[in-house]
Structure 1
Amino acid sequence: MSAETLASREVPKKENRFKVWRQTRPFWAGLFTMLGGVPIAYLPYGDLRLGNVTLTMATTAGAGALIIGVLLITLGLTMWFQPLVRVFAGIAAIVLALVSIPVSNFGGLVVGFLLALIGGALSASWAPAPEKEETEDEPVEAEYDGEPAHADETGTVMTAGVPDQRDGATETSIDAKGGRNSAG
């Protein structure tokens, strides 16, 4: 964004700042991508205790899973704070999600894989809303008051900028039933 663009925008109310910030970037894509990176990075190192039983998901590819998880979290933050690279970040998140299947316990028990895949797809497909351009030369529509506005040089009566067609049919005019009128 340029300085002129930032200066021309009006500052939103205090309670609407987060809403405006969220709508100007792929917010949900970044959130899903970051949430997908957490189980992918955590499961190879974490352990779950159920009473006296400890469930450990340690794998030999723990470092790869940690790298993939950290990269997915970084890509999610990139989607939030650098929305111009959203397509690259989205495609990279999809590729990392696919790589996490063999590397990190089926992509963080499929949960991390699905969240990262959805986040990457949302980021790659997100497009910013078009900015409203304020122009001074917008045409103003005239209101029709039932009276002819004026006649042009040829004498054709113009009503609100459109020729008045109430007088006689021509060879090419169409009647109300959809057929052609015969002139004469």
Structure 2
Amino acid sequence: MLLSRWRRWRRGRPFWGGLFAILAGAWICVLPLAPLKIMLQQGVAGIPSVLMGAIMTVLGLTAWFSPRQRPLAGFLTTLIATAALVLSNLGGFLIGTLLGILGGGLMFAWQPYAAPRAGGSAAPGQSPAATPQHHDPQGAQP
């Protein structure tokens, strides 16, 4: 019962895009807090890293809990991940940037599953046999 509820919740939103965005935000945010031997720069340069990481984490959570906002969240995640490449220790040593771009792309491209229309999908004036029947796993409407 719990597993089926989890699957239904996960499939009803851009889960993987949000997860990659959260991981990218955490990676970019935590890296400036690492010991001095690991960091490339210390001090004021760490502030944009923490802010960009926090914003990317919030955008990933937004995609999960408000799937209608996914296009904006995906676009902003990709934009911030690209900016992190310059502003934040090479975007978390490239790992954070790559995860952010992947997550933003997955959020932007995700489409909710569309249930079949009641009463058939034939247009007015057409017979149902003339309408091609296909199954699109992304739920795109013809």
Match runs of 1:1-184 below 5 Å: 13-47=1-35, 54-59=37-42, 60-135=44-119
TM-score (norm 1): 0.61
Q: Secondary structure at the match of 1:107?
A: helix
Equivalent AA in structure 2 for residue 37 of structure 1? G
Normalising by structure 2, what TM-score? 0.78
1:101-140 per-residue CA deviation (whole Å, 9 max, x = no partner) reads 111100000000000000001111111111233439x999
* Cα distance in 1, alignment partners of residues 38 and 104 from structure 2: 30
Percent of aligned pairs with the same amino acid: 34
More helix, by proportion: 2
Which structure has the higher relative contact order (CA within 8 Å, separation 6+)? 2
Letter in 1 for 2:103: G
Give the gaps of 5 or more residues in structure 2.
Answer: 130-142
CA distance in 2, matches of 1:45, 1:58: 11
Q: Is the contact made by 1:93 and 1:116 (CA closer than 8 Å) also made in structure 2?
A: yes
**Using a 3 Å threshold, how does the CA distance of structure 1 residues 107 and 140 change in structure 2: closer, same or farther?**
closer
Structure of higher CA gyration radius: 1
Which structure has the highest strand share of the two?
1
Aligned residue-pair number: 123
